[in-house]
Amino acid sequence: MIKRFFGEFPTELYNVNLPKFDIAACSWTSAQAVAADTNGIIDGGECSDSKAVTLTPDEGTEMPCARNITATVAATTEGNIKAVKVKVYGTNILGEKIDEELPAFTVDTAGSVVGSKAFATVTKVTVPAMDGTGVTVDVGWGDKLGLPVLLDHNAVLYAVKDHVRETTAPTVGYSSTDIESNTIDLYNDLDGKEVEVYFVI
């Protein structure tokens, strides 16, 4: 993010002034700040034991806003689950094409993995071959919200949920080059209450 100076603030030291900055606010509606949904994009995508498969979003599904992606693996026989990495393709908040390889599943164990980038849309997901049949993968969104700015450091001051300031600071991801890597994760889980975030520009 480009730093913007708004004049100078005088100090008690002779001929020494501090740059003034401004504070910006970013907000999410209740519809955008809905709870994380493990199968909000793909519900029960079938895997193969012999080849990689490409899964596409279920009909009528869409992201509530730019959010991080989660993948959840399950199986009739957990021993058929392989420690593979799901790859997600879609677009960021600017409509640019992006992709992300999620962390590997735990071998022989049902469970979820969590991505870091904020996807505004998901177009497809690829899943490598598993160790056996009866394995499925759900894909949904997590609690990280995508920020519409490029940050080169954590400039977030605090977050407000349902008109109450959170006492614990949110976790902030930042990048001065990739907007999808600029995210905020509130201490309390999202649950459909409006969210506001205040940061220095």
Vertex 116 angle, CA 105 and 128, to 5°: 35
77-130 per-position pLDDT tens digit = 999 999 999 999 999 999 999 999 999 999 999 999 999 999 999 999 999 999
44-53 per-position pLDDT tens digit = 999 999 999 9
Q: Give the whole-angstrom CA distance, residue 170 versus residue 190.
A: 12
Residue 1 is encoded by which pair of tokens? 């993010």
> Could you write out the DSSP letters of every residue in 107-123?
TT--EEEE--S-BSEEE
pTM over 0.85: yes
Q: Which fold has domain 37-145?
A: Jelly Rolls (2.60.120)
Of 32 and 15, more confident: 32
Residue 21 is encoded by which pair of tokens? 């900055």
**Coil vs helix vs strand at 125:** strand
**Coil vs helix vs strand at 45:** strand
- With residue 193 as reference, give the H or E element that holds it: none
Q: Give the whole-angstrom CA distance, residue 160 versus residue 118.
A: 20
Pick the closest to residue 146 from 94, 104, 71 (CA basis).
94
